[in-house]
Amino acid sequence: MWPARLPEAASAAGPAGIPAPAALPPGGLAPGAPALSEGRCAHGKGTLSGETFGLGASTPGLGRPGPASRDAVWCSRLSKSYGHRAALRSVSLRISSGEVVGLLGPNGAGKSTLVKLLVGLARPDSGEALVLGAPLGHPQSRRDIGYLPELFRYQPWLSVAEVIGLHARLCPVPVADRRREVDRVLDRAGLADRGQDRVASLSKGLQQRLGLAVALLGKPRLLLLDEPTSALDPTGRADVRSLIDQCRAEGITVLLNSHMLSEVERSCDRVIVLDRGRVLADGPLGAWLDHDVLRVRLDGEAGRFVPCLAHFGEVSAHARELTMPSLALSLVPDVVGALVAAGARVVSVEPGQVSLEEKLLELLSGHDEDRP
């Protein structure tokens, strides 16, 4: 799989001679367009199979009949199976234009499958979706999508500039603008001085930058990034954050699929959590992380001291650390006193906020308990 700006189809015909769907008016379906069962996607009603973080409410507006004109991505009850394994189960979500959204979940949750459906590399078994106002895989949307897959490989004998030039032709970038566009994406990806280097000579991190450069060709309106910071050093990760910030400022919609939770926490406006093919939660990042927590580090195993703190409220232990969410700061001296009285040696006490990793683990753990 190559990262790419997805080219337009060469003709208006779809697979096996099926005519491509007509261009869609904003927020609506072209008259007479067939349903998915006839080989295409059409819009309909959708509800969210998840909840806004910490708020216990469904995503605002998803109950409306169909997509809004501001939606870059709109999905209703998308399902996809590979053989007997269900990769996506009735996934409904929407992403507004200009949003930076993190897509989270454990391995096998369905994140990469969802991205492949949005790009048009796979077809759903059922459900409906629009990307940039057009059905999945339609040339109207493909020409405005930049995509960096998790795994890719370029021809090792090509130079960096040749790889980007090839994809600029496929986009297609007009001939008059091609040289300038190649230089622009090389600079944005931090490869301005690497244009003549062969792909075979690049480190994995530099090849990752090359994939980002290709995805940025032609100034896409929607950028789909699947693990963009894998293999990157701290400088490279900082560059990706800066790139995402620039995209936000330019109104480009970004869907970031990553296990690097610190990067998601720093870059995203909203997060969507998938687990076992379903939307488990969907909401603003701030609403999820807006919870105080007290962390107490001990000089020894923390678990045996949980009972002496039970009257303060919820307490959890991991290795040498106790965690107490939503504890009033005025009670901190009492907590320390109770621990000392029980024989604990307190190393540090740190009030703070719940991390994205802690909330995600809590959410997934609760979902595991609900498993039939």
Tokens 């690049």 — which residue? Answer: 202
The residue ranking higher by pLDDT, 66 or 60, is 66
What lies within 8 Å, CB to CB, of 238 at 6+ separation is none
Determine the pLDDT at residue 321.
Answer: 92
* Structure token pair of residue 169: 């032709």
Residue 66 has pLDDT above 80, yes or no: no
Tokens 């992380």 — which residue? Answer: 289
What lies within 8 Å, CB to CB, of 140 at 6+ separation is 23, 24, 132, 133, 134
Is the overall model pTM greater than 0.75, yes or no?
A: no
Please report which confidence band the pLDDT of residue 290 belongs to, taking 50, 70 and 90 as the band edges: low
Task: Give yes or no for a contact between 102 and 135, defined as CB atoms under 8 angstroms apart.
Answer: no
Residue 348 has pLDDT above 80, yes or no: yes
Q: What is the DSSP string of 261-301?
A: HHHHHHH-SEEEEEETTEEEEEEEHHHHH--EEEEEEESS-
| Phi/psi at 26 (5° precision) | -55, 125
What's the chain's Rg over C-alpha atoms? 24
Q: Alpha-carbon distance 192 to 195, whole Å?
A: 6
What lies within 8 Å, CB to CB, of 172 at 6+ separation is 7, 8
Tokens 């595991």 — which residue? Answer: 368
Q: Alpha-carbon distance 265 to 310, whole Å?
A: 31
Number of alpha carbons in the 13 Å side-chain half-sphere of residue 138:
20
Residue 34 has pLDDT above 60, yes or no: no
Please report which confidence band the pLDDT of residue 70 belongs to, taking 50, 70 and 90 as the band edges: confident
Lowest-pLDDT range, 46-55, 76-85, 214-223, 287-296?
A: 46-55
Residue 2 has pLDDT above 70, yes or no: no
Neighbours of 133 (CB within 10 A): 22
Residue 260 has pLDDT above 90, yes or no: no
Please report which confidence band the pLDDT of residue 68 belongs to, taking 50, 70 and 90 as the band edges: low
Task: Give yes or no for a contact between 182 and 174, defined as CB atoms under 8 angstroms apart.
Answer: no
Determine the pLDDT at residue 36.
Answer: 28
Residue 23 has pLDDT above 50, yes or no: no
